[in-house]
A and B are shown apart, each in its own frame.
Chain A
Amino acid sequence: DAGITQSPRHKVTETGTPVTLRCHQTENHRYMYWYRQDPGHGLRLIHYSYGVKDTDKGEVSDGYSVSRSKTEDFLLTLESATSSQTSVYFCAISGWGRSYEQYFGPGTRLTVT
């Protein structure tokens, strides 16, 4: 199994509060990704990173920001959580030369009330 951890694994928060999810890898992989998974929509890319301090938007980036100050950590921030951001969030990593082959973390279940 790829060395990917996500924290927290579960979180309940109120509308309007900021939330930060953390993804940590021990594989020294260059690429890191944040996805959300919702019934009827499958997995959708939020943001990704192709190196320290290098990030780009995915399909559903509105309302989310990311930061990557170290190779091993990729943070996803919801500046002001909304109920539509209730979802399961997955982090994934991939390495140079095989970047299509993404390996996923265990996920964070976020509920915004």
Chain B
Amino acid sequence: GQQLNQSPQSMFIQEGEDVSMNCTSSSIFNTWLWYKQDPGEGPVLLIALYKAGELTSNGRLTAQFGITRKDSFLNISASIPSDVGIYFCAGPGASQIYGGSQGNLIFGKGTKLSVKP
């Protein structure tokens, strides 16, 4: 079945450093999404990407839709303590790729980010 592989699984960085993480798939995706989850809360949508090669920013966050359509990247510049959390990539399941009914969003297992003040 479809799987999204995120790397690294965890990161421990110094405040002020830039962060890079990625997500890869064996299948082609037509949409990539990035979420952040704080402890005890639901995931929050950060960025949605719809076109191969697209680069989209949200504050200090920048995400890119890989040109092969099998990967996506998330960068965080000048990290701060509130960036701590788990970052998930997500994409439509097979039923959505072929125009089926909505739903079946699949998620990577996440990258856990820790920031040292």
From known contacts A42-B108, A43-B88, A101-B33, infer whether A56 and B103 are also in contact, taking CB-CB under 8 Å.
Answer: yes
Q: Of residues 23 to 75 in B, which have CB atoms within 8 Å of A's CB atoms?
A: 31, 33, 35, 40-45, 48
**Is B101 at the interface (CB under 8 A from chain A)?**
yes
A104 at the interface (CB under 8 A from B): yes
User: Contact at B33–A100, with CB atoms within 8 Å?
Assistant: yes
Which residue on A lies nearest to B32, using beta carbons? A100
- Nearest Cβ in chain A — how far from B83, in angstroms? 19
B42, A31: Cβ atoms closer than 8 Å: no
Chain A positions within 8 Å of B43 at CB level: 43, 90, 104
Query: Which B65-117 residues have a C-beta within 8 angstroms of A?
Result: 88, 90, 92-93, 96, 101-110
Shortest Cβ distance from residue B97 to the other chain A in the assembled complex, whole angstroms: 11
A105 touches B33 (CB 8 A): no
Contacts of B33 in A (CB 8 A): 100-101
Q: For the complex, give the distance between the alpha carbons of A41 and B44 in Å.
A: 18
List the B residue with the shortest CB-CB distance to A104. B42
**A48 interface contact, C-beta 8 A:** yes
Do the beta carbons of B101 and A40 come within 8 Å of each other? Answer: no
A41 to B88 Cα, complex, angstroms: 12
Question: Please, which residue of chain B has its CB at the minimum distance from the CB of A54?
Answer: B101
Per-residue CB proximity of A52-67 to B under 8 Å, as 1/0?
A: 0000101100000000
User: A101 contacts which chain B residues (CB < 8 A)?
Assistant: 33, 45, 48
**Residues in B neighbouring A71, C-beta threshold 8 A:** none
- Give the chain B neighbours of A58 by CB distance below 8 A: 103-104
Contact A94 B102 (CB under 8 A): yes
- The 6 A-B residue pairs with the shortest CB-CB distance, nearest first, are A104-B42, A48-B103, A99-B102, A43-B107, A42-B109, A42-B107
Seed contacts A43-B88, A107-B42; 12 additional CB < 8 Å A-B pairs: A42-B88, A44-B107, A45-B104, A45-B105, A48-B103, A50-B102, A92-B42, A94-B102, A99-B102, A101-B48, A102-B105, A106-B42
